[in-house]
Structure 1
Amino acid sequence: MPPSTQNFPLGHRDSSEISIRSSAELGATIRGQRKQLALTQLDLAGLGNTGNRFIVDLENGKPTVQLQKALDILDLLGLEVVVRSKASRSL
């Protein structure tokens, strides 16, 4: 039985940030967080109210997945998307 959503993180686990430049990188990040939370793809699909095929496609970097569903899964895993100008990154 999957853990309840009350056990999910509400924010960053640490202060590290990852720059995502491809759907494959996003998928790998999602897979890593899911595994860190000890969830199976089926667990995440159930908790995210989506199909397992969507989770598989998302983690494999399929570039045509539905954006809102992807954002919902990120939120469920305690991750967020932040958009900023490249010039504002620290060097």
Structure 2
Amino acid sequence: MPSSAQDLPLGHSADSETPIRSSVELGLVIREQRKRLALKQLDLAGLGNTGNRFIVDLENGKPTVQLQKVLDLMDLLGLEVVVRTKASRSTSSL
């Protein structure tokens, strides 16, 4: 187990992108990365200076978690948020 945030490896999965459309989807991505890094929820809570309840809520997709805490934990896990414009949809399907 890493002893500090500096010891955490950056995300080591292939440069994959996962579109997130709900808090549940975000929670699943965070849970998968935590498990890839062999961290328990309590480990992540300690490294992120937050409570275990916050980690549980986040991974379960609670929509009202604090955004800055989520971003900080994602950074610890080697994840980042990228905002981009959606690809335009064909007008013929309207």
Q: What TM-score does the superposition give when structure 1 sets the normalisation length?
A: 0.88
Shift of 1:11: 5.0
Q: How big is the shift at 1:3?
A: 1.1
The separation in 2 between residues aligned to 1:29 and 1:67, in whole angstroms, is 15
Q: Which has the larger radius of gyration?
A: 2
- RMSD value over aligned CA atoms? 1.5
Question: Which residue of the partner structure matches residue 2 of structure 2?
Answer: 3
Aligned position for 2:32: 32
Dislocated runs of 4+, deviation >4 Å: none
Q: In structure 2, give the amino acid aligned to 1:14.
A: A
Shift of 1:10: 3.2
Q: Tell me by how many angstroms 1:8 deviates.
A: 1.7
Residue of structure 1 in register with 2:81 after alignment: 81
Residues paired across the two proteins, number: 87
The 3 A distance-change label for structure 1 pair 56 and 23 is same
Give yes or no for contact 1:23–1:63 (8 Å, CA) kept in 2.
yes
Secondary structure at 1:87 match in 2: coil
Percent of pairs with identical residues: 78
Unpaired stretches in structure 1, ≥5 consecutive residues: none
Aligned residue number for residue 16 of structure 1: 16
Give the secondary structure class of the aligned counterpart of 2:87: helix
The reply to whether residue 61 of structure 1 matches residue 61 of structure 2 is yes
